[in-house]
Amino acid sequence: KSHIRYERYSKAKSAREALKLGSWPADWCWDYERGFIKVYGPLRDEPLDMSKVQDESTLTDVDMAIHRWYRRELAKKLGLNYKDLFVGKGSGESTLMRAHRLVAQREASKRLKAAEKQNRPITEDEVLQTLREWAFGRNPNRQNVLPEGQDWVWSDTLGLLRDRMGDIHLTTPTKAYPAVTAILNKYLTDRLPKELASFTWTSLNLNCNY
């Protein structure tokens, strides 16, 4: 029972002490919203991004408890498998980004199947909804379009990309979320004029809010 846990951890002076005394991250949210606890810091500007943590031994018990709880709640809210929200080191995806991209992939796949079954083109609304579900990455490499005073933009590339070594390969989002690429491709190719019916593309750059 939550009130029994509260009796145990209410005397704690820190989140770490409260955790050791049996509290759960969900308890902290409830208590904070009702003024039962106060947070003096230090605070993170953003949720912990596990893809950027090179050495997990540097994380505290509180870090790990909050991350596990956050991942479970996110999976529950979006109807995802908890295990699918694990992100690889250096992947460039936060847990939240991974979650929204999985939703975009799942829903894009449904839309593609519906269009095929009904023998119809992909609609503008279906593309727009897919893009709204998609989580764009922070891209610092588009130097030619960076707004003044900003060092990154929301931007992703689908399809092929040449890296700094000259190697040409499919981008990670293209391989990880193929239905998102497929629905955009079908929308575009469905609308090609007859004289361009054989047109193909190699790279598609998606930009958001700039």
pLDDT by 10s per residue, the chain, length 210 = 678 888 899 889 988 999 999 999 999 889 989 988 888 877 777 777 777 777 878 888 998 998 889 889 999 999 999 999 887 755 678 888 999 999 999 999 999 999 999 999 999 999 999 999 999 988 888 888 888 888 888 999 999 998 878 899 999 999 999 999 999 999 999 999 999 988 999 999 999 887
- How many Å apart are CA 137 and CA 31, to the nearest integer? 33
pTM: 0.80
Element (H, E) at 15: helix 15-20
- How many Å apart are CA 88 and CA 50, to the nearest integer? 8
**CA quadruple 69, 74, 77, 82: dihedral sign:** negative
